[in-house]
Amino acid sequence: VDKLRYNIIDKKLKIIITPKEGKLDPSQLTFDEGKPPFDLILMLDAANIEQLGEMYDQNTELFFNLPTINIDHHASNEYFGKINLVDLTATSTCEILVALFESFGEKTIDETIATCLLTGIITDTGSFQNSNTTPKSLSIAAQLIGLGAHQQEIIQHVFKTKPLSMLKLWGKALTDIQRDAKHSLVWTTLNHKDFEEANATKEDTTGLINDLLSSAPDTNIVLLLSEKEPRMIHGSIRTREGIDAAKIAGLFGGGGHTGAAGFVLQDKDIKEAEKFVLKQIRTYQEREIKGGKVE
Amino acid sequence: VDKLRYNIIDKKLKIIITPKEGKLDPSQLTFDEGKPPFDLILMLDAANIEQLGEMYDQNTELFFNLPTINIDHHASNEYFGKINLVDLTATSTCEILVALFESFGEKTIDETIATCLLTGIITDTGSFQNSNTTPKSLSIAAQLIGLGAHQQEIIQHVFKTKPLSMLKLWGKALTDIQRDAKHSLVWTTLNHKDFEEANATKEDTTGLINDLLSSAPDTNIVLLLSEKEPRMIHGSIRTREGIDAAKIAGLFGGGGHTGAAGFVLQDKDIKEAEKFVLKQIRTYQEREIKGGKVE
């Protein structure tokens, strides 16, 4: 090769090779992939590598070839990194990061970083209302506000902004709330028309069961059935007093945690779903009560 | 007097006086009031003495005769005590009490006291969401949880218990929410029938405007009109962006603070009240916009 030039025209890279003699034979060209332009993979708040979802599926090789650091606070963490910084007593991964960033030097945490870290702590503790709230999480929050975190901005965006469509949809759900004291059950339903009338999206039910329905007193099971698409029913369950929400969701092919679980029912309208689900839950509760688990 | 005996029969005190000679003449009896059985008056969280209300009106003399201690954190405090412990930087009076109790000795704050003090901090900061939240309030909360405060119990009682009647009433209010973008106004109404149908009390609107209506985005004035008794309309106003809620409430003979105010309209049904109030607020907003105060 005598000379190599290149230019870029219309976003196309044109490589001009002038051979010393003869002609360039396209069949002699080979392509090697260069090293990936990354040095390290840093994973935050993931209990296992599969939780990365598409990012992992589409780049599996990267995860084999690069060193990985795994920073997390979940009890279910699988220590899948080359380096694992897992603190099960932390309320959030952001709480762990505060100490890490401090070790980088005194001025590492500026206003913007403090705001981001505080956001993680506030969302993971439900604004210091969840049972995971520790003295440490409160002290670190104090420290971050001291470092200039924009606390009011976080609160405004995370908790105090609800589109009108969401408020209207919540209104519909609350108006129709029902109770079955015998089975310690409170429930409500949203049909597809409710979503249309409120001009609401599927996501507008987010928070409804946690923020409001779960505050109904003297009840151990709270249920929200919502027909997000026609004849496609999403069920959300919250439980108290040692009742396993995941077990109840399991009756309908769903799953989750002890206190919070969910399921999807295909090909039923909201009335059919309500009748079916209530019947099963009542039977479940009666069996549990007879079994002496619940008084 | 030779002898004095007394006994108590049927909750009646019988005093038996045996005079040395002669007879006791009832007209010679006089009655003196003894000293009040109190040594001190301790006032907490009151900006001025009138805020004590009935307690002050019915015992005015006590307040003149006894030494008084005034512990508070409000900027409007009038330093009316003999001793004034007023800290305007504290988020709550309970925050001030923590330091005071600590000065009494190391073990003064037990689990119960810690729970009470934390309740005051959590309610006055709106669970660390209000703009008055300081690093200090978070640190002290951390300390109180460390001392055994039952944080989850507080959260459960203060924020996570809402009677079904309240949830249904809130549902009705949210379903009917309306917006006037031109005047940056969001409002809703509850008529007396709504209260009856939800089986709700007058108090069940508490929190509705703060917790939910105020989260409507892109609006500077939020209004709730509720007909708590027939033809008796309560108005609640919340404002943002430098609009004075007290001024707007003043249009209807009410008052309050810059961001939150209220008023009562007599002898109007909800439809009449809605029409009347909206008209006045729109005129007010247009004047403000013309006056260049709002863009």
Chain A positions in Cβ-Cβ contact with residue B259 (cut-off 8 Å): none
Above 80 in pLDDT, residue B1? no
CA B232 to chain centroid, in Å, comes to: 22
Q: How far is B13 from chain A (nearest CA, A)?
A: 48
Name the packing angle between helices A111-124 and A151-158 (round to 10°): 40
Tell me whether residues B142 and A146 touch, CB distance under 8 A: no
B123-167: pLDDT as tens digits: 999 899 988 899 999 999 999 999 999 999 999 999 889 999 999
Q: How far is B133 from chain A (nearest CA, A)?
A: 9
3-state secondary structure of A252: coil
By Cβ distance, the residue of A145, A155, A215 closest to B160 is A215
Asked if A220 has any chain B CB less than 8 Å from its own CB, the reply is no
Taken in order A264, A270, A276, A282, is the CA torsion positive or negative? positive
Tens place of pLDDT per residue across chain A (295 aa): 777 888 888 888 888 888 787 777 778 788 777 777 899 999 999 988 888 888 899 888 888 889 999 999 988 899 999 999 999 999 999 999 999 999 999 889 999 999 999 999 999 998 999 888 999 999 999 999 999 999 999 999 998 899 999 999 999 999 999 999 999 999 999 999 999 999 999 999 988 998 888 899 889 999 999 999 999 999 999 998 889 999 999 999 998 888 889 999 999 999 999 999 999 999 999 988 776 554 4
Average pLDDT, chain B: 91
Rounded distance between C-alpha atoms, residue A179 and residue A191, angstroms = 18
> Average pLDDT of B91-95?
95
Asked if B109 has any chain A CB less than 8 Å from its own CB, the reply is no
Reported confidence tier of residue B94, pLDDT bands at 50, 70, 90:
very high
Domains parsed from chain A with CATH numbers: 41-158 (3.90.1640.10), 164-290 (3.10.310.30)
pLDDT at B292: 59
By Cβ distance, the residue of B159, B171, B214 closest to A175 is B171
pLDDT at B28: 78
Decide: B126 and B163 in contact? Cβ < 8 Å.
no
pLDDT at B132: 83
B167-195: pLDDT as tens digits: 999 999 999 999 999 999 999 999 999 99
The size of the A-B interface in CB pairs under 8 A is: 118
With 0-12 / 13-18 / 19 or more C-beta atoms within 10 angstroms meaning exposed / middle / buried, residue A224 is buried
Asked if A167 has any chain B CB less than 8 Å from its own CB, the reply is yes
pLDDT at A90: 94
B 113-152 residues with CB < 8 A to A = 127-129, 131, 133-139, 141-143, 145-146, 151-152
Question: Least CA distance to B150: which residue of chain A?
Answer: A131
Q: How far is B157 from chain A (nearest CA, A)?
A: 9
Asked if A218 has any chain B CB less than 8 Å from its own CB, the reply is no
Asked if A228 has any chain B CB less than 8 Å from its own CB, the reply is no
Contacts (Cβ under 8 Å, ≥6 apart) of A151? A118, A145, B133
Exposure string of B82-105, with b = 16+ CB inside 10 Å and e = fewer, is eeebbeeebbbbbbbbbeeeeeee
Asked if B163 has any chain A CB less than 8 Å from its own CB, the reply is yes
Strand partners, B179: B186
Tell me whether residues B161 and A214 touch, CB distance under 8 A: no
Looking at chain B, the whole-number percentage of residues with pLDDT higher than 90 is 66
Copy the structure tokens of residue B14.
Answer: 């019988």
Task: Write out the H or E segment, with its range, that includes residue A4.
Answer: strand A3-9
